[in-house]
Amino acid sequence: MRILITNDDGIRADGLVALANAVRPFGEVKIVAPDRERSACGHSMTMRDPLRVKEVAFHGLEAYEVSGVPVDCVNVGLTLAYPDGCDLVLSGFNHGPNLGFDVTYSGTAAGAMEGVVNGIRSIACSMAIFADGAPFHFETGARWLNENFEWLTSLDLPDRTFLNINVPAIAFPEVSGHRFVAMGRRVYEDRVEARKDPWGRTYYWQGGVVVMKPDDPTSDVWAVSNGMVSITPVSIDWTDHATLAKLEEMQTVARNS
């Protein structure tokens, strides 16, 4: 199996090392990752600046750092590392959760999304840590992925669908299985905060306090909050097909009335 790995935390991130080591036994692994952290870049692409690519040492694997975002890295990887294509795109391990609505901002998810855009099976992996300063437990994510890799990569998924996986950042014996779940709600309070610089000028800092809503047992937020690995199939077809059908029906009725 030819495996292309990227992330949004940068080529020197510990999570990238853990992900690569987890899947090395399963095939040829190559790394193409940003030259620095690119968190919350979403499914963006570099269009008006050149991309600088440099081959780097990476634990005995072929690896490149790119002066761009995860989408750029996947496309560079398919041009430089795997010009004949690959079998799997992996993105992660992200240094933090990508749950609920955060998937829309996530550079980690974007790496997997770009793999699917190119017709390649793709998986985004994140470590769900919820307390500042707590250990990420990348060894837990690596072991879980290693032990479950073969069935994960053989799942019958629809076209344009990737898997978004969140592993709770706890010791491996504490993980209580996995669950296939939907995206839940993970929102922010006080999203934009006004501050003053040393000269008294107002500036704004975006972030806010995360509000978890682990009340829905069918959601990724609930699963991870209860010590489970959450696995969410995410489609890049954002069409609301149910609403589309209703609108078409309304239009037909209006024409015939």
Q: What is the pLDDT, as a whole number, of residue 50?
A: 97
pLDDT band at 141 (very low <50, low <70, confident <90, very high): very high
Task: Assess whether pLDDT exceeds 80 at residue 160.
Answer: yes
Residue 193 falls inside a structural domain: no
Residue 195 falls inside a structural domain: no
Residue 197 falls inside a structural domain: no
Domain of residue 14: give its range: 2-183+215-256
Task: Assess whether pLDDT exceeds 90 at residue 25.
Answer: yes
Residue 179 falls inside a structural domain: yes
User: Which whole number is the average pLDDT over 43-63?
Assistant: 97
Q: Which residues contact 203 (CB under 8 A, 6 or more apart)?
A: 194, 195, 196, 197
d(Cα 41, Cα 39) in Å, to the nearest integer? Answer: 6
Summarised one tens digit per residue, pLDDT across range 171-224 is 999 999 999 999 987 666 657 889 999 999 999 888 766 666 667 899 999 999
Q: What is the pLDDT, as a whole number, of residue 144?
A: 98
Q: Mean pLDDT in the chain? A: 94
Which percentage of the chain shows pLDDT scores above 90? 86
User: Which whole number is the average pLDDT over 154-167?
Assistant: 97
Q: What is the pLDDT, as a whole number, of residue 187?
A: 63
Among 106, 107, 105, which residue's Cα sits nearest to residue 70?
Answer: 107
Reported as type and span, the H/E element at residue 205 is strand 202-206
pLDDT top residue among 148 and 214: 148
Residue 173 falls inside a structural domain: yes
Predicted TM-score (pTM) of this structure: 0.93
What does the DSSP assignment read for 21-88? Answer: HHHGGGSEEEEEEESS--TT--S----SSPPPEEEE--TTSEEEEESS-HHHHHHHIIIII-TT--SE
Residue 31 falls inside a structural domain: yes
Residue 153 falls inside a structural domain: yes
Can you say how many angstroms the Cα of residue 148 is from the centroid of all Cα atoms in its chain?
18
The number of folded domains in the chain is: 1
SS3 string, 92-124, reads: EEECCCCCHHHHHCCHHHHHHHHHHHCCCEEEE
pLDDT band at 29 (very low <50, low <70, confident <90, very high): very high
CATH of residue 20's domain is 3.40.1210.10
Residue 137 falls inside a structural domain: yes
User: Which whole number is the average pLDDT over 103-129?
Assistant: 97
pLDDT band at 130 (very low <50, low <70, confident <90, very high): confident
**Residue matched to tokens 């694997």:** 61
Q: What is the pLDDT, as a whole number, of residue 9?
A: 97
